[in-house]
Structure 1
Amino acid sequence: MEIVICPTASEAGKLGAAAIAALLQRQPEAVLGLATGSSPLHIYDELAARCQAGEVSFAQAKGFSLDEYVGLPSDHPETYHNVIRRDFVHRVDFDDSGVHGPDGLAADIPAFCASYEEAIAATGGVDLQILGIGTDGHIGFNEPGSSLASRTRIKTLTKQTRIDNARFFGGDIDQVPTHCITQGLGTIMAARHVVLVASGTAKAEAVHQLAEGPVSALWPATILQHHPHVTVLLDEAAAGRLQLTGYYRETYASKPAWQGL
């Protein structure tokens, strides 16, 4: 796990975008795992600017969203199908039909979840997975207590997650769905490269547990300690609880340029 501490969240986003642009230059048909929420927005802003400047193209790429609320109408602005298109997909040259996401209105949710796993596998798997992290350490919607080997499935959202997400629903927690479909921790671990981005003091404890705590279902993101290629991009505030900041800064400053992220 590589920890990169940046002066600002914007700078962290630029690094994440650069890693994705480099991947697409090497592999135009790459498969991206797409996260919603506020954490990846700086990455998406930078990628949109690069695409508009002709520096990167998503025309041959494919995407798979991490999660989706269960039961929201398809025209609701906060379905993640709509959010990822508003925040990213429709700002670049992605083929809309090449971006897939969980179906929160599926009549048979277990069958859909199995088919979603099959669809990811059929593309050859995710080359680069973008992640945020919740204040309670969840990634995707894998809440505390999730199986570390879990696959795509339905989950009940914790009250804390619903409180955190109420800002997208007019501040009314009662409007936030209680269930979601999410890629599992085992699904996320199958990605070849994971880029997790976090900013702000509210994420500092979760980041500390992610990087320096024991691997535990109480902090689901800690499973990433077992992944062979994880890049964690932080602003100063999100890095505020880390104990080894000096070492992280030193190793990144002396990193050979050819390694990239």
Structure 2
Amino acid sequence: MGVAAAHSAAQTLRAAVAARGSARMIAAAAPSQLDVYRALADEPDVPWDRITILHMDEYIGLDTAAPQRFANWLNTHLVESVHPAAFHPMRTEIGAVAATAEYIALLEEGPIDLVCLGIGVNGHIAFNEPPDADLSDPSPVRVVQLDLASRVQQVDDDCFDTLDAVPTHALTLTIPSLMRGAHLVCAVPDTRKADAVRALVEEPISAHWPCTALRRHPRCEIHVDRDAASLLHWDANLLTPETR
């Protein structure tokens, strides 16, 4: 799963740099993306010195040195491996209003060629939480209150020791901001994500499962492992030998 997602992402980055001289990508910060980023760092001939990395959400109220901060996680698991031209963290420590304005300005500096994202156990993308996510949000970035399921997931992912330690609010890119990426590469491993993957395919597009908005994107790939795909209703006879 990780290798396939990374290969597709690398092709997009190479093509963008070849066409425009530079590329910009948004990267999710989550343990579910580790295999993708390891494989992406191993991809040959990706011109990282011409690629800018942004990320999609950040906790509010967490110490800047905390390893759980998404900017710090991305530095450790992607940025320090590939050495991009630039990495722009969400600086929530300067205050939510200032950080929102700063990141909106960064998003407006150019097109987004690639978004590498995942899906939460409750179907969130970035921190656009059900059932309050706005699929047509007019703001590119906003402050959100985290759903309990999302906070529990952070403990289950061993990012925090206790639920009380997980922040209650975050700054997030909105769904329209994610959807403005030219190419979306979504990687979803783990049995815990199986219901969200099923909902992505089968449920109506709505804020009850924010991930369903991905079906509206003209170039969105969903890469899953067998566990995450376990609730999908498909005919195995339609699969080729290479994809079984």
Establish whether TM, by shorter chain, passes 0.5.
yes
Secondary structure of the structure 2 residue equivalent to 1:64? strand
**1:229 corresponds to:** 219
**1:168 corresponds to:** 159
Superposed displacement of residue 70, structure 1: 0.3
Amino acid at match of 1:156: Q
Deviations 1:17-41 (A, max 9, x none): 1112212322231111110111211
Superposed displacement of residue 128, structure 1: 0.8
What is the aligned counterpart of 1:220 among 207, 210, 221?
210
Distance in 2 between the 1:74 and 1:132 partners?
Answer: 24
Query: Structure 1 84/245 Cα, relative in aligned 2: closer, same or farther at 3 Å?
Result: farther
**1:37 corresponds to:** 30
Superposed displacement of residue 121, structure 1: 1.9
Amino acid at match of 2:101: A
Amino acid at match of 1:114: A
Residue 55 of structure 1 pairs with residue 41 of structure 2: no
**1:3 corresponds to:** none
**1:115 corresponds to:** 102
Distance in 2 between the 1:221 and 1:248 partners?
Answer: 25
Kindly indicate whether the alpha-carbon contact (under 8 Å) linking 1:135 and 1:206 is maintained by their aligned counterparts in 2: yes
**1:195 corresponds to:** 185
The count of residues paired between Structure 1 and Structure 2 equals 233
Kindly indicate whether the alpha-carbon contact (under 8 Å) linking 1:239 and 1:245 is maintained by their aligned counterparts in 2: no
Distance in 2 between the 1:86 and 1:63 partners?
Answer: 13
TM-score (norm: length of structure 2): 0.89
Structure 2 residues without counterparts, runs of 5 or longer: none
Secondary structure of the structure 2 residue equivalent to 1:134? coil
Superposed displacement of residue 220, structure 1: 0.6
Distance in 2 between the 1:49 and 1:197 partners?
Answer: 17
Kindly indicate whether the alpha-carbon contact (under 8 Å) linking 2:3 and 2:39 is maintained by their aligned counterparts in 1: yes
Structure 1 residues without counterparts, runs of 5 or longer: 1-11, 254-261
Deviations 1:67-118 (A, max 9, x none): 00001111111111111000110011213xx1113222123x2343233123
What is the aligned counterpart of 2:113 among 113, 121, 127?
127
Residue 177 of structure 1 pairs with residue 180 of structure 2: no
Kindly indicate whether the alpha-carbon contact (under 8 Å) linking 1:66 and 1:101 is maintained by their aligned counterparts in 2: no
Kindly indicate whether the alpha-carbon contact (under 8 Å) linking 1:138 and 1:221 is maintained by their aligned counterparts in 2: yes
Deviations 1:221-244 (A, max 9, x none): 111111111100011111111113
Residue 103 of structure 1 pairs with residue 91 of structure 2: yes
Query: Structure 1 249/177 Cα, relative in aligned 2: closer, same or farther at 3 Å?
Result: same
**1:20 corresponds to:** 9
Amino acid at match of 2:220: V
Query: Structure 1 241/248 Cα, relative in aligned 2: closer, same or farther at 3 Å?
Result: farther
Deviations 1:55-78 (A, max 9, x none): 323111011101000011111111
Query: Structure 1 212/116 Cα, relative in aligned 2: closer, same or farther at 3 Å?
Result: same
TM-score (norm: length of structure 1): 0.84
Kindly indicate whether the alpha-carbon contact (under 8 Å) linking 2:199 and 2:209 is maintained by their aligned counterparts in 1: yes
Distance in 2 between the 1:248 and 1:71 partners?
Answer: 49
Distance in 1 between the 2:192 and 2:164 partners?
Answer: 23
Deviations 1:131-185 (A, max 9, x none): 1111100010111021112231000011111111022122x11111110000001
Deviations 1:190-235 (A, max 9, x none): 1111111111111111001112211010101111111111100011
Secondary structure of the structure 2 residue equivalent to 1:169? coil
Distance in 1 between the 2:201 and 2:81 partners?
Answer: 33
Amino acid at match of 2:78: F
